[in-house]
Structure 1
Amino acid sequence: MRDTDTDKVARLSRERFEHTRPPSRRDMPPVDTTNLPPGPRQPSLAQSAGVLRFRHRYVPGLRRRFGNVFTVRLLPAGRTVVISSRPDVTKEIFAGDPAVFHAGKGNAILGPIMGEHSVLVLDGAAHKRARRLLMPAFSGHALRGYREVVAGLAKTEVASWTPGLEFRALDRMNALTLEVILHVVFGVTDEERLAQLRPLVYRTVNVSPLVLLGWGFPPLQRMGPWKRTVETSYALDRLIVAEISERRQAPDLAERTDVLSQLIRLEDDGERLCDAELRDHLVTLLLAGHETTATALAWALYEVGRDPEQMARARDAARTGDDDWLEAIFKESLRLHPVLAMVVRTLMRPTTLGGRLLPRGTTVAPSILLSHSDPANFPEPERFRPDRFTGDHPPSLTTWIPFGGGVRRCLGAAFSQMEAVEVLREVFSHYDVHAVGEEGPKVRNITSVPDQGARIVVTPISG
C-alpha cells in the first residue's frame, strides 16, 4: 500500500473514532426517574460491571429481587435502562415505531469498532437505507448460493479433527465460522490475505467489556488495552481497504457472488458506496455473524455430546436429511445459552410500555437471558430440548429472541441458521460427539461463551 493510501486509511480510522464516540452525560437528555420501575441503588460503575461482566448471576438476582421489570443505570453517562422479561412488553417494543424506538443509540458503545455507517448503530432513514442495501445479499436466492461454500468449508474443518483427542469446540467453531465469513462476505481466497486477517479479527472479537466502556473516555485510547485495540482496528482497516481497492479492479467483479462484490456493484441514487461505508458494513457482518454462530454451535456440540439419546437423534437427522431437527438443535442452543444478554432501544419521546409511562431518553431492553430461562416461556428451562422448536407450536418471537425482533431483527438470522445446519450435518454424519467435564458461561466482550471452551472428544461412526 502506497504512503498516500496509508494516510487515507489512517484518516478514515481516526475519523471513525471521532464520529462514533459514545455519548457523554451532557449529550444525553435528562431522564425523569419518578415513574421508573425499581432497581438497585449501587453506583453506575458497579451496576455496569454486574450487567456486562457478571450478568449470569447479577441479572437473575435483580429479577428475584425486583420482579420481571426493573431499572439499572449503566455507563457511559449513567444511562437509564429498563430491563424487562415480559413477553407483552417485548412485543410492544418490537412492534414500536422505529422513529420512537431507536436501536442505534442503545448500540452506541459498539460504534468505534463497527463504524458510523454500521446498520447496528444507525437509526431512522439512515438505518432503513443501510438495511435496504444489505438485504439482497441475504435473500433466499443468495443463501442458496452460499450453501455450497459453507458445506465445503465445514467438510474441510471436520476432516481435520483427530478422533479420541480432546479439543475445545469453541476454538474450532470460531475458526470455521471465521473462514465462512471471510469467504462468503469478504470473498477472500488468497491465503496470504487470509493469514493477515485472521489474527486481527480474533483480537477485535476478544475486546473486553472494560475496553468497550472506556470508549467514552478518549484519553484512555493512548494507553494499555485501549491503545492496543485502536492499533488493531487501524491494522484491520488497512487490510479491508486494500481488499476493497483490489476488488474494485477485479476483472471478474460482475460475476462474483460474495457480499463485498455485491456491495461494490451497488448504486444508490446513482452513487457507489464509499470505502468507509463498505468497511463498516463488512466489519459489522464479520463481528455480528462470526462469534454468535460459533458460540451457539460450540454449545450445541457440547449439549448433544452430554446425552447419548440426543446424540443418536442428531446422528439420525444428519443421515436422513432431517434439517428441521438440526436447526432445532441450533435454536435450542441459542435458547439455553444466550450469546447476547439483551436487545436495546432508546425512547425518543415518552411512551407507555406494559401500562407504565416511560420518559424520553429511557433505554428499554428486552432481556434475552431472562426470557429464555423463564419457566413460563420454556418449561424445564434448564434442560436441553430441541423438540421445543419442532411441531405445530414453536416458541414465539417474543420469548425466543436471540436475533432481536421487529424491523431491527438481525439480517443474518437465516444465514446463521443455514450455516449451522450445514456444520451440524457434517459433524454428525461422521462423528459421535462426547462432552468432557462441566461448562458454564463466561463473558467475553459483549457476548457469553463456554468458560472452558466446550470441550469434546469425537469418535468415528461405525458402519
Structure 2
Amino acid sequence: MALLDDVSEIQDTHALTRQRFERTSFMGDSTLPPVKLEGLPPGPGWPALVETIALFRYRHRFHLWLRNKYGPTFTVNLMPGGRPLVLFTRPEDIKEIFAGDPEVFHAGKGNAILGPIMGEHSLLLQDSSQHKRARKLLMPAFNGHALRDYRDLVIDLARDEVAHWPTGRTFESLPRMNTLTLEVILRVVFGVTDEDRLAALRPCVNATVDVNPIVLLAWGYPQLQKVGPWKKVVDNQHALDELMYAEIRDRRTAPDLATRTDVLSRLIREGQDSTDPADRLSDMELRDQLVTLLLAGHETTATALAWALYELGRNPDLMSRAQEAADSSDGDGDAWLDAVMKESLRLHPVIPMVVRTLMKPTTVGGFDLPVGTTVGPSIIVTHSADNYERAEEFDPTRFLGHNPPTNTWIPFGGGARRCIGAGFAAMEGVAILREVLKVKNVHTDHEDRPRVRNITSVPDQGARIKVTPR
C-alpha cells in the first residue's frame, strides 16, 4: 500500500487540517454568559491562572486538599475567562449529573481543549442530536460480537510483545504497555497492515498523544501556531491527517472490505446501503472518531495495565492468585483478571474528572447553578476513602461477585455518555494480563506514585518491574 503522494490530495488534506484548527479552540463558548462566583460552592478564590495550574499540574494533592478543606462539593476558577468548575464527590450528586438531560448537561464544551486534535465531529465534543447520531453509528463496532472478533488479534500482539521483554532485569512496564496498546489501536482499530504506513503512523500517533495541554490552552492565538511547540503540533497533525485520510480512502475501495473485522472497516460499512448521508460517516467524521478512539483508548489502557502489574508484583499472594486465573480456561479466571484491572483503575485513576457545561440554570446537589457553569465528578476523590474502606490498598476482591455502589467507580464516566470503548478496554486488559501472567513471574522492588502527564496521570517511574519465566 503506497503512501499518499498525489500533490493535490495532500493539499486538500492540509486544507481540512487547517479548517479544523480554525473551527476548534479552547477559548470558551462566546454564546454562554460569564458566570459569577457568588453563590457557588466554596473554593480557594485564588487567581484563575493559579487555580488552573494547581488543577492541571498538582491534581492528585489538589483534589483531595479541596475535599478536605471545603467539603464534598467545591469550586475551581479556571482559565481562560475565569469560568468556574464545580466538582462533586458524593454518589447521589454524581448520579444527578450523569442522569441529567443531555440538552442541558453538555459534555462537548467541557472537552473543548481537545478540539484541535480530535476535531469537531469527535464523540467527546458533540452534544444533543449530533452526539446521539454518532454514538448510534459507532455502537455496532463495539458490541459483544465485535469484541470477540478483536480478541484473538489482541492476544497475538500481546504474546509477541511479552516474548521480547528482558528477563531478570528491572525495566519500566509503562513504555512496553504503551507500545503494545498502540499496536492494538493501529491494527485492531485502524486496521492498518501495511508495514510502511505503520512505520509512518507510529511516530505521528505518539506525538499526538504527547501534546501538552498548555499548548492547547493557547490554541486560540493563531500566530503561535507558527512557532515553537505549537508549530511542531501543527506539522505533526498535517502528517497524521495525511496518513489517516489515505488509509480511509484506500479502505473504502478495498476488495476485502466486506469481510474485514477491524473497527474502521466496520464503521465504513455502517449505513453503506442507505441513501441517507446521515446513516453513514463521512471521511472527516471517520478521521475524528478514530483519533478520539486513539486518545481515549491508547494511554489509558496502557497505564491501567502498568499499574496492575506493578501492584501484583508487590504482593506474592495476589500474584499467585492472578496466575491461577490466567491459567484457568473458565469464566472465573476472566472475572478475577477483570477485577484486577478495575481495582487498578480505582486506585490509580488515569483521568481526574469528567465534566459537563450547563446550558440552563440547574440545581445539582442542592446548589442552584447558573447557565455556563461547568460541573462534574472528581474521579480522584470519588475513588478514594470517601467511598471505599482501606482505599489505599490494592484489593481486587472489591469487584468479585458484585459491583461497588453506583457512581463510586467511574473511570469511564457514566450515563448516556459513558465511554463507548469501555467494553473494548476491559477485553483488551484481561487478554493482555492473561498473556503476561501465563508465562511470567512479576516482581516489583521500586516504589512509584502518580505523575501528571498531559490530561492523564501515569506512574512517575514508569511502573518498574522485573520478570522471570514461570
- Give the alignment's Cα RMSD to 1 decimal: 1.3
Shift of 1:377: 1.1
Q: Secondary structure at the match of 2:371?
A: coil
Separation of aligned partners in 2, 1:239 and 1:100: 37
1:333 to 344, 354, 358: 344
In structure 2, what residue type is equivalent to 1:385?
D
In structure 1, the partner of 2:442 is: 433
In structure 2, the partner of 1:415 is: 424
Separation of aligned partners in 2, 1:269 and 1:181: 31
In structure 1, what residue type is equivalent to 2:463?
A
Q: Which runs of 5+ in 2 are unaligned?
A: none
Separation of aligned partners in 2, 1:296 and 1:396: 21
In structure 2, what residue type is equivalent to 1:316?
E
Shift of 1:391: 2.3
In structure 1, the partner of 2:412 is: 403
Shift of 1:25: 7.2
Separation of aligned partners in 1, 2:72 and 2:216: 27
In structure 2, what residue type is equivalent to 1:208?
N
Is contact 2:28-2:80 (8 Å) kept? yes
Is contact 1:397-1:405 (8 Å) kept? no
In structure 1, the partner of 2:243 is: 239
2:355 to 331, 341, 344: 344
Whether 2:317 is the aligned partner of 1:309: answer yes
Separation of aligned partners in 2, 1:31 and 1:257: 48
Q: TM-score, normalized by length of structure 2?
A: 0.95
Q: Secondary structure at the match of 1:197?
A: helix
What does 1:137-176 align with in structure 2 at a 5 Å threshold? 137-176=141-180
2:264 to 250, 260, 265: 260
In structure 2, what residue type is equivalent to 1:313?
R
What does 1:116-135 align with in structure 2 at a 5 Å threshold? 116-135=120-139
Is contact 2:441-2:469 (8 Å) kept? yes
Is contact 1:76-1:216 (8 Å) kept? no
- Bigger drift between 51-60 and 88-97 goes to 51-60
Shift of 1:326: 0.2
Q: Secondary structure at the match of 1:456?
A: strand
Q: Secondary structure at the match of 2:467?
A: strand
1:178 to 179, 182, 192: 182
Whether 2:381 is the aligned partner of 1:381: answer no
Whether 2:291 is the aligned partner of 1:291: answer no
Q: Secondary structure at the match of 1:311?
A: helix
Is contact 1:53-1:209 (8 Å) kept? no
Separation of aligned partners in 2, 1:434 and 1:211: 38
Separation of aligned partners in 1, 2:10 and 2:29: 35
CA offset digits 1:194-235 (Å, max 9, x no partner): 111111111111112211222233322222111111111111
Is contact 1:25-1:77 (8 Å) kept? no
Is contact 2:158-2:435 (8 Å) kept? yes
Q: Secondary structure at the match of 2:75?
A: strand
In structure 1, the partner of 2:74 is: 70
Shift of 1:270: 2.5
Separation of aligned partners in 2, 1:244 and 1:315: 40
CA offset digits 1:390-435 (Å, max 9, x no partner): 123x213411000000000000001100000000001111111011
1:454 to 455, 463, 466: 463
The structure-2 alpha-carbon separation of the partners of 1:25 and 1:275, relative to structure 1 and needing over 3 Å to count, comes to closer
Number of matched pairs: 459
Is contact 2:77-2:83 (8 Å) kept? yes
Q: Which runs of 5+ in 1 are unaligned?
A: none
After TM superposition, what 4+ stretches of structure 1 lie above 6 angstroms from structure 2? Answer: none
Shift of 1:27: 4.5
CA offset digits 1:127-178 (Å, max 9, x no partner): 0011001000000010011111111111111111121122111001001111
In structure 1, the partner of 2:276 is: 270
The structure-2 alpha-carbon separation of the partners of 1:232 and 1:436, relative to structure 1 and needing over 3 Å to count, comes to farther
Q: Secondary structure at the match of 2:462?
A: coil
Q: TM-score, normalized by length of structure 1?
A: 0.97
